[in-house]
Structure 1
Amino acid sequence: MTAFAALHREGDPLLLPCAWDHASALALAGRGFAAVGTTSLGVAAAHGLPDGASATRGETLRLARVLGAEAFPLSVDAEDGFSDDPDAVGEFARELAAAGAVGINLEDGGGLADRHAAKIAAVRSAAPGLFVNARTDTYWSGDRDAAETTRRLEAYREAGADGLFVPGLTDPARIASLAARFDVPLNILYTPAGPTLAHLADLGVRRVSLGSLLYRRALGAALDAATGIRAGRAPDGPTPTYDEVRDPAG
């Protein structure tokens, strides 16, 4: 078991905050988070590109090369692998591993399960040390078909996935059922209206991702500060100093 895999503990799940650039990643690592992920929405939006459209392969790899040199474990959100060709996805995973990433998140986007399983198998072959978190979008898309979700997760596990991710799933009973069914960690996306981190731990979840939440909250805070200043109000909440941003290591 790799050190990153060992962070996925029953009763004490890995809380994975997701960064969108070097500054956000180092700031999160500086707060003591055991690992840092990336958010495909944040990376795409920061570059003026659409998310989920295979448009940010280059930007994602460049960020991984910057962050992979840091001391914290890095897991990269790679959308669907940026290709329909499993071999191309495997090659991208190999490049991520060479950059220093320890994990990859691959989403099926609601597409063909067999094709996604083939991508997982290709990644497993091309970058055997990379922790493959296989995501199904059955709940994220609003389909919420429990049987189809289970079928997909079983196929992805059989293809070699190290973890299984079901964003959009918030029902405690269903979460507990899936966590107990599989021998690899279940990953759930945290939502403010869903179960708390402690509740998810009790349900057997071993990884909780923050996805694009921090990026969207950062944008919200910036907008709130700007409009507040325009209205004559001083911004509230914490503001890192110039030196803290410039040199997060102190």
Structure 2
Amino acid sequence: MDKLDNQKEKILVVDDETSIRRILETRLSMIGYDVVSASDGEEALNMFRKEYPSLVVLDVMMPKLDGYGVCQELRKESDVPIIILTALGDVSDRITGLELGADDYVVKPFSPKELEARIRSVLRRVGKVPICTGIPSSGIIYIGFLKVDTNKRQVYKNNERVRLTGMEFSLLELLISRAGEPFSRAAVLQEVWGYTPERHVDTRVVDVHISRLRAKLEDDPSNPDLILTARGTGYLFQRITEKKP
């Protein structure tokens, strides 16, 4: 396997199955990550606060505190990227992790190579790598009551900072950069998450992130003015006509 170029991102692996922790610790270390691990939810929170990882791989079914509870607690204090590992068969259970703030999910049993690819993709997107062209040279865009600073990857609504996760910002940046142009869910998944959906349910990652963005940015998320649904296609951002006030 190729080593990461000068990468020292730290990954926190949380799973109550010793075999999975050992496999992921070995494989992720071999490709250049620093890896720490935890076997239950309470230990995961303690380890997170001690180690400050760059990304968390988080199992759902765990003792003491499940992955959903860990995800909720992490989102109260951090925008760290979170990839959920779930063996749950019900699609709604998988979506729950996304609604609580996870950036992506992988279903057990999973291919370690698939998880490694997801980790690389998420870290790339949250690492301030420009996702697309079409952004003003200043990097600052004003849309009504919003100010979007693509250099600092920050958003302000009515001059108040709005906390977005890295993947939420990348999604917003993509839509804004080509405002007025509809994107299919599959195209968004490829552009932002870096993989092509193999099943229809894969695109629910996009739907949940759109819902989260609307909840944070729209005055009325149920009747959005900014992030619109393109019937039969996917989503688009309203055409931008307003300049700096």
Give the TM-score normalised by structure 1: 0.34
* Structure (1 or 2) with the greater helix fraction: 1
Which structure exhibits the higher relative contact order, with contacts defined as CA atoms closer than 8 Å and separated by 6 or more residues? 1
* Structure (1 or 2) with the greater strand fraction: 2
Give the TM-score normalised by structure 2: 0.35
